[in-house]
């Protein structure tokens, strides 16, 4: 079976995790039967996973334990920071955007002075608030999708 060994290696982690579709599992099975290089990579990866999973916390050195603790506390601090940034962003963007849109839509300068030079064109009075609202909706939709995915992302700590 012709295949690209680099592409097959990308599938091996998902194969070991049981995350492949049936078709991809069968494809990897065929590749492992035909290609000794891919089969050896699979055996090494499987061996590595078994050795890492057999480690207990007591076997780690003080430096490794310290690094794990630092990462855990950094994650908590980053989570609180993220919450505060999001709350501030929502307040500033929400209040600021609403205030700006209200000023533009009501055309307050023109209402006060009555001068024709102060009049904002109709397409700007309604187009700019729609643009601001659309950007806000798009931003927060993507943000909430990313936050949902981040909770269940199995590969977020993978480093290359």
The pair of structure tokens assigned to 67 is 């690094």
Is the model's pLDDT at 43 over the cut of 70? yes
Predicted confidence band of residue 75 (pLDDT cuts 50, 70, 90):
low
Q: What is the pLDDT of residue 74?
A: 55
* Average pLDDT of span 52-62: 67
CA 42/CA 36 separation, integer angstroms: 10
* 31, 8 Cβ separation under 8 angstroms: yes
Apex 35 CA angle, 31 and 37, nearest 5: 120
* 45, 16 Cβ separation under 8 angstroms: yes
Report the predicted TM-score, pTM, of the whole model to 2 decimal places.
0.39
CA 82/CA 89 separation, integer angstroms: 10
């Amino acid at each position: 079976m012709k295949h690209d060994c680099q592409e097959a290696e990308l599938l091996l982690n998902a194969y070991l995790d049981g995350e492949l579709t049936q078709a991809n599992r069968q494809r990897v099975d065929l590749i492992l039967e035909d290609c000794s290089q891919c089969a050896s990579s699979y055996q090494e990866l499987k061996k590595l996973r078994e050795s890492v999973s057999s480690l207990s916390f007591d076997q780690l050195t003080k430096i490794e334990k310290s690094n794990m603790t630092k990462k855990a506390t950094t994650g908590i601090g980053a989570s609180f920071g993220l919450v505060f940034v999001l709350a501030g962003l929502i307040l500033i963007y929400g209040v600021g955007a609403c205030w700006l849109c209200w000023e533009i839509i009501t055309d307050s300068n023109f209402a006060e002075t009555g001068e024709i030079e102060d009049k904002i064109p109709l397409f700007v009075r309604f187009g700019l608030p729609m643009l601001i609202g659309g950007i806000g909706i798009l931003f927060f939709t993507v943000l909430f999708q990313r936050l949902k995915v981040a909770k269940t992302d199995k590969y977020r700590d993978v480093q290359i």
